[in-house]
């Protein structure tokens, strides 16, 4: 189905890419709510009905953009991780956090699309799951490497969370002590709380030097998952 022979298949790939490109342009310019299939078609010089041959609905187009956005921020995180490979665990963690923040500031509408409120009555299909996990995997990797190195310093976990921690660790951190899993998940969510508040204006007249504030907060998050 995908890699067919003819020139028609090639054209389909190109048109699909052009649609996504123009859609991404409009998304960046005006936000997800103002992304219009008709406007995309208009800009591409085709009839709006023709566009439905490529994306059966507006939500499907949005889903494609969501996956791209997850991949984009995931790549940014991975790149920062690689660049900071030689630094200490806390520095490495902070660098990744800052890369995610900078990606968010550079792509606010894409960020809103994936980490803000789900678009209008829209619920993301499972297709997005692997892409969505990339940033998390980077963070897990840092903690994993730190454990192989100097080791982790973790706060005690209440008994009621032990089963949850075991389950989490089995899922995505089987080579780490179970207690680290909930801390990691919490730090992951909190990271996006910090970024979202800055991006969506909650820090208006509250935080001025946002880069410095964020750097410090990210460092504290690192301590929270046991990095030293």
By CB under 7 A, name the binding residues for DNA.
Answer: 4-9, 11-12, 15, 35-39, 42, 45-50, 52-54, 56-59
Residue 154 phi/psi, 5-degree rounding, is -115, 145
Query: How near is the Cβ of 28 to DNA at its closest, in Å?
Result: 16
Q: Which does 141 bind (CB under 5 to 8 A by kind): DNA, a copy of itself, none?
A: none
Residue 85 touches which member of a copy of itself, DNA, none, C-beta under 5-8 Å by kind? none
H-state helical runs in 86-133? 89-106, 108-115, 129-132
The DSSP H or E segment spanning 146 is helix 134-148
Among residues 54 and 203, whose Cβ is nearest to a copy of itself? 203
Least Å distance between CB 72 and a copy of itself?
17
Shortest distance, position 53 Cβ to a copy of itself, whole Å: 26
Cα 156 to chain centroid, rounded: 29
Cα angle for residues 35, 37, 40 (degrees, 5° grid): 85
Evaluated on CA atoms 206, 210, 212, 217, the torsion sign reads positive
Nearer to DNA, 96 or 113 (CB): 113
> Least distance from C-beta 14 to a copy of itself, angstroms?
30
Q: How far is the CB of 123 from DNA (least distance, A)?
A: 14
- Which DSSP category does 127 fall into? G
- Of the two residues 35 and 99, which places its CB atom closer to DNA in the complex? 35
Determine phi and psi for 55, rounding to 5 degrees.
-130, 115
Helix, strand, coil percentages (3-state) for the chain, rounded to 5, are 70, 0, 30
Between CA 96 and CA 138 the distance in angstroms is 8
Residue (79 or 161) nearer to a copy of itself, CB:
161
Q: How many CB atoms lie within 10 A of CB 1?
A: 4
Note the residues at the interface with a copy of itself (CB under 8 A). Answer: 30-34, 112-113, 115-121, 123-124, 129, 132, 155, 157-158, 160-161, 163-164, 167-168, 171-172, 182-183, 185-186, 188-194, 196-198, 200-209, 212-213, 216-217, 220, 223-224
């Amino acid at each position: 189905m995908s890699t067919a022979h003819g020139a028609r298949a090639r054209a389909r790939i190109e048109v699909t890419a052009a649609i996504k490109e123009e859609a991404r342009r409009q998304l960046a310019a005006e936000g997800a709510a103002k992304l219009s299939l008709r406007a995309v078609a208009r800009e591409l010089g085709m009839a709006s009905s023709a566009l439905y041959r490529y994306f059966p609905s507006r939500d499907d187009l949005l889903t494609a953009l969501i996956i791209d956005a997850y991949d984009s921020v995931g790549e940014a995180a991975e790149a920062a991780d690689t660049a900071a490979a030689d630094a200490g665990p806390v520095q490495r963690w902070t660098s990744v956090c800052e890369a995610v923040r900078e990606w968010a500031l550079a792509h606010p509408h894409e960020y809103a699309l994936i980490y803000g409120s789900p678009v209008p009555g829209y619920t993301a299909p499972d297709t997005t799951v692997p892409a969505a996990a990339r940033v998390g995997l980077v963070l897990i990797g840092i903690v994993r490497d730190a454990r192989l190195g100097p080791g982790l310093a973790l706060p005690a976990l209440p008994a009621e969370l032990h089963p949850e921690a075991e389950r989490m660790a089995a899922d995505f951190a089987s080579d780490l002590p179970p207690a680290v899993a909930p801390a990691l998940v919490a730090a992951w969510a909190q990271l996006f709380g910090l970024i979202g508040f800055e991006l969506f204006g909650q820090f208006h007249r509250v935080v001025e030097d946002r880069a410095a504030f964020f750097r410090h907060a990210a460092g504290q998050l690192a301590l929270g998952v046991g990095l030293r």
